[in-house]
């Protein structure tokens, strides 16, 4: 069993900078947990506090029901893999993997058994007599992982382990790491600034910003139900579209049109410049209840919920000018501008839209997120 509990953990560096603020989290046995966020948000600091490489300023760390704030790094039985993996250049792969067991003076046979096991797990059997300089980046990183897991740590801590690899290898190693986690069945805490990596690897993701946890959730929930504008924008590529709009109901509309009322009573609209999109259903209920009449909001909509043709779900039309076109093979990302905003739509590869075209796009309003313009919270978060 390996469960970690972090209670209100803060880190203030000697220069007074608060890198981690009130971080609370329970990490369950066998979880593949990800810390993700932009550079400088406190991911490595948090991981290093868990590892015992950085002092915890205030708060509590518990490892398997043991108070661990003051435990030595070794006593914590955790292993860490870093971005820049330090292998011993003059030692073979075998010795690089076996090193931590040799230091502990385990028997030769026992060491050999475990090295062979780990090598099999990582597909390094044929490379055991090579030296690091003869290996590719991916192979070297596998050796570093082998070195970390041979001790059978309670928890494996990984800090951007794939950042130094090229894109193709990174993709491959992602798949391997997911496999490895299944086979090892241990707890992994994995730090990355890359939301794709987070979304594909994690069973649960902790999104951080400026040392503060924003949201802890499964990948799908983060994507579909972000707690605020930051999480909505950080998770997903191309980024969620953000449209500034004002909430208006019939009376206000009628007033602004000098008494000419074109809509039935109590209808509610998002209004931006000449565009009016009717608000219905649950969203309308929430906005009425929270009294957002006349208030500014930000509508969030993912590129896959904007279509280049009307569909059953995509009914609300807006007109924009195409400013970019990216063929991704099976689909096309169209970038278009409307007023001073840049939006993107994920459309079928058969689209003939070209840069410069003025064309209609259709929005699936059921998929709108609505954010308060000032607090940036998602009013639809549930």
Ligand X SMILES: Nc1ncnc2c1ncn2[C@@H]1O[C@H](COP(=O)(O)OP(=O)(O)O)[C@@H](O)[C@H]1O
| Smallest separation (angstroms) from Mg ion to the CB of 84 | 12
Q: Which of 44/187 has CB closer to Mg ion?
A: 44
The distance of closest approach from Cβ of residue 193 to Mg ion in the complex, given in angstroms and rounded to an integer, is 7
Instruction: Work out how close the CB of 23 gets to Mg ion at its nearest, in angstroms, rounded to a whole number.
Output: 15
Q: Does 192 bind Mg ion (CB under 5 A)?
A: no
- Least Cβ distance, residue 189 to Mg ion (angstroms): 13
Tallying the residues shown for the chain, one arrives at: 382
Smallest CA-to-CA distance from 311 within 271, 348, 342 is with: 348
Where does this chain touch Mg ion (CB under 5 A) — which range of 40-48, 109-117, 294-302, 303-311? 40-48
Residue 44 binds Mg ion, judged by CB under 5 A: yes
Nearer to Mg ion, 19 or 332 (CB): 19
**Residue given tokens 């169209």 in the structure block:** 334
- Among the residue ranges 7-15, 38-46, 282-290, 292-300, the one whose residues contact Mg ion (CB under 5 A): 38-46
Residue 19 interacting partner from Mg ion, ligand X, none (CB closer than 5 to 8 Å by kind): ligand X
Minimum CB–partner distance for residue 196 and Mg ion (Å): 17
> Minimum CB separation from Mg ion for residue 44, in Å?
3
Shortest spacing between CB 57 and ligand X, in angstroms: 12
**Read out DSSP for 276-340?**
EEEE-HHHHHHHHHTT-TT-EEEEEE-GGGEESS--SS--EEEEEEEEEEEE-SSEEEEEEEETT
Element (H, E) at 345: strand 341-348
Residues 6 and 59 sit within 8 Å (Cβ to Cβ): yes
Contact 343, 335 (CB under 8 A): yes
Least separation in angstroms between residue 40's CB and Mg ion is 8
Cα distances (angstroms) measured from residue 155 to each of 33, 78, 158, 318, 329: 11, 5, 10, 51, 40
Task: CB nearer to Mg ion: give 42 or 132.
Answer: 42
**How many residues belong to the site for Mg ion (CB under 5 A)?**
1
**Residue 109, binding choice from ligand X, Mg ion, none, Cβ under 5 to 8 Å by partner class:** none
Instruction: Between 194 and 357, name the residue whose CB sits nearer to Mg ion.
Output: 194
Applying CB under 6 A, the residues found at the interface with ligand X are: 13, 15, 17, 19, 37, 39-45
Angstrom distances, CA of residue 293 to CA of 59, 257, 366: 42, 17, 20
By CB under 5 A, tell whether 187 contacts Mg ion. Answer: no
State the sign of the Cα–Cα–Cα–Cα dihedral 8, 20, 31, 117: negative
Closest by CA to 341, choosing from 310, 318, 314, is 318
- Given the complex with ligand X, which of 39 and 74 has the nearer CB atom? 39
Toward ligand X, which CB reaches closer, 41 or 50?
A: 41
167: exposed, middle or buried (Cβ count in 10 Å: 0-12, 13-18, 19+): exposed
Q: Classify 164 as helix, strand or coil.
A: coil
Helices 167-184 and 108-122 pack at an angle, to 10 degrees, of 130
Residue 15 or 65: which CB sits closer to Mg ion? 15
Which of the choices Mg ion, ligand X, none does residue 17 contact, using the CB cut-off of 5 to 8 A by kind?
Answer: ligand X
From Mg ion, ligand X, none, interface partner of 40 (C-beta below 5 to 8 A by class)? ligand X
d(CA 149, CA 91): 18
- Pick between residue 40 and residue 294 the one whose CB is nearest to Mg ion: 40
What residues line the site for Mg ion (CB under 5 A)?
A: 44
């Amino acid at each position: 069993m390996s469960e970690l509990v972090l209670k209100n953990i803060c880190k203030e560096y000697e220069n007074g900078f608060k890198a981690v603020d009130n971080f609370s989290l329970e990490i369950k046995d066998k979880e593949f947990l990800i810390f993700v966020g932009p550079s400088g948000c406190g991911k490595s600091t948090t991981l290093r506090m868990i590892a015992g490489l950085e002092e915890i300023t205030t708060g509590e760390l518990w490892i398997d029901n043991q108070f661990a704030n003051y435990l030595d790094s070794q006593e914590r039985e955790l292993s860490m893999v870093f971005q820049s993996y330090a292998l011993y250049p003059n030692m073979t792969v075998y010795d690089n993997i076996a090193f931590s067991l040799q230091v502990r003076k385990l028997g030769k046979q026992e060491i050999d058994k475990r090295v062979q096991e780990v090598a099999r797990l990582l597909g390094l059997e044929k490379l055991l007599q090579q030296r690091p300089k003869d290996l590719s980046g991916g192979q070297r990183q596998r050796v570093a992982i082998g070195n970390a897991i041979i001790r059978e740590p309670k928890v494996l801590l990984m800090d951007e382990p794939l950042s130094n690899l090229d894109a193709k290898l990174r993709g491959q190693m992602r798949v391997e790491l997911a496999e490895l986690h299944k086979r090892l069945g241990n707890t992994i805490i994995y730090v990355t600034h890359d939301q794709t990596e987070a979304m594909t690897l994690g069973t649960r993701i902790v999104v951080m910003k400026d040392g503060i946890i924003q949201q802890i959730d499964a990948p799908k929930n983060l994507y579909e139900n972000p707690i605020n504008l930051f999480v909505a924008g950080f998770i997903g590529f191309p980024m969620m579209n953000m449209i500034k709009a004002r909430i208006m109901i019939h009376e206000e509309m009628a007033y602004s049109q000098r008494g000419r009322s074109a809509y039935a009573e109590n209808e509610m609209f998002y209004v931006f410049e000449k565009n009016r999109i009717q608000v219905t259903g649950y969203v309308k209920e929430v906005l009425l209840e929270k009294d957002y009449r006349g208030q500014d909001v930000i509508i969030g909509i993912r590129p896959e919920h904007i279509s280049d043709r009307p569909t059953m779900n995509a009914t609300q039309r807006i007109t924009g000018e195409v400013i970019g076109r990216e063929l991704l093979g099976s689909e096309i990302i169209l970038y278009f501008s409307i007023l001073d905003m840049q939006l993107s739509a994920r459309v079928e590869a058969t689209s003939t839209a070209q840069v410069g075209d003025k064309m209609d796009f259709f929005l699936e309003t059921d998929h709108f997120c609505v954010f308060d313009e000032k607090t940036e919270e998602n009013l639809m978060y549930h």
